Amino acid sequence: MKKTILFLLILFSISVWAKGGFQLWQIASQEDKIGNSYLMRTAEGRLIVMDGGYKEEAGYLRGFITAMGGEVDMWIISHPHPDHSGVLLEILKNPKGIKINSICMSRFTEQLLDSEKSGKHARELYAAVSTSGIKEISPTLGSTMDFDGMKIKFLGVTNPEILTNPYNNSSLVMRVWDKKHSVLFLNDAGIECGDKAMANNPIEDFYCDYIQMAHHGQAGVSEDFYKKAKFRACLWPTPTWVYNNDCGKGFNTHILQTITTRTWIDNLGIKEQYVSCLLGTTRIF
């Protein structure tokens, strides 16, 4: 009788643990290059990848995904810059056992693709997605998905009318949450993209536990955006030279705006900060 009760208790504990909400990893660049890469695992074990980084990171992320079962339920591409979509293109070219069930992205117009040199990479990515046979999901503004209790709301999709900093300003902006945690993914949103997302959605959608710093923490959304979005912790997908604004001559010798952003966050009193180049790959929760 005692053994039966113990067995039932263990079963109950496992089921509670398994339904403990989604988990989030911030994947650090192994090349100390700029890039954006996150992995989420739902309470039922389904994997969602956010971007993935440069193609040079493909081997590392492939290993990480393989260790978690090798199957990605949805791969989200925030925008088709190589530091966000390079890994996916490499894996589409040569899956090596990685199974992807769907790819979620907001395709750029031809005019938008033509607006930057990296349009060649973007077109190669789009062609690879089209020929892969993998289901493609085009998110619409304000739409919500549910993965085992983990919800994703799209607060911003492609903005072809914004011609300033056009690729970054067409980044997906997303709120991901369940009963335990909430994360705001800004990806590479610039000022215009951030302001548009805030104008198009209730301000409560921007209140979160964790905010992913826009554009790797430099020249992203405005200070006012960070002031209005209430959060308690920051996720920095940022290499050392960007985090320290270092052109090779020491701290704050480059032309990037990272130190300004760091000051904004310090002024907000945010102490909990996960910087990928300082911590390496980290399970956030």
CA Rg value for the chain: 19
Q: How far is the CB of 270 from Fe ion (least distance, A)?
A: 22
* 3-state SS assignment for residue 16: helix
| Nearer to Fe ion (CB atom), residue 41 or residue 81 | 81
| Nearer to Fe ion (CB atom), residue 229 or residue 242 | 242
**Spatial contact of 194 and 185, defined as CB atoms under 8 Å apart:** no
- Which of these segments, 5-13, 75-83, 99-107, 274-282, binds Fe ion (CB under 5 A)? 75-83
What is the C-alpha separation between 73 and 210, in angstroms, rounded? 23
What is the C-alpha separation between 181 and 150, in angstroms, rounded? 9
**Spatial contact of 104 and 144, defined as CB atoms under 8 Å apart:** no
Q: Which two tokens stand for residue 271?
A: 């102490």
| Nearer to Fe ion (CB atom), residue 139 or residue 220 | 220
What is the C-alpha separation between 131 and 20, in angstroms, rounded? 37
| Nearer to Fe ion (CB atom), residue 84 or residue 175 | 84
Q: How far is the CB of 80 from Fe ion (least distance, A)?
A: 11
| Nearer to Fe ion (CB atom), residue 182 or residue 218 | 218
Q: Does 51 bind Fe ion (CB under 5 A)?
A: no
Q: How far is the CB of 95 from Fe ion (least distance, A)?
A: 24
Q: How far is the CB of 78 from Fe ion (least distance, A)?
A: 8
Q: How far is the CB of 221 from Fe ion (least distance, A)?
A: 13
Provide the angle, in degrees to the nearest 10, between the axes of the packed helices 58-67 and 82-93: 70
Q: How far is the CB of 240 from Fe ion (least distance, A)?
A: 16
Specify which residues 156 forms β-bridges with: 173
The residues, any chain, with a CB within 8 Å of residue 265's CB and separated by 6 or more, are 213, 226, 234, 273
* DSSP states of 121-136: HHHHHHHHHHHH--EE
> Which residues in 164-193 contact Fe ion (CB under 5 A)?
188
- Which of these segments, 54-62, 78-86, 141-149, 265-273, binds Fe ion (CB under 5 A)? 78-86
- For Fe ion, the binding residue among 83, 90, 192, 205 (CB under 5 A) is 83
By CB under 5 A, the count of residues binding Fe ion is: 2
| Nearer to Fe ion (CB atom), residue 57 or residue 83 | 83
Type of residue at 172: L
Give the contact letters, 10-29, x = binds to Fe ion (CB under 5 A), - = no. --------------------
Helix, strand, coil content of the chain in percent (nearest 5) = 35, 20, 40
- Which of these segments, 13-21, 77-85, 225-233, 247-255, binds Fe ion (CB under 5 A)? 77-85
What is the C-alpha separation between 32 and 41, in angstroms, rounded? 25
Q: How far is the CB of 84 from Fe ion (least distance, A)?
A: 6
What is the C-alpha separation between 61 and 38, in angstroms, rounded? 10
- Which of these segments, 81-89, 150-158, 176-184, 262-270, binds Fe ion (CB under 5 A)? 81-89
| Nearer to Fe ion (CB atom), residue 83 or residue 192 | 83
Q: Which residues bind Fe ion (CB under 5 A)?
A: 83, 188
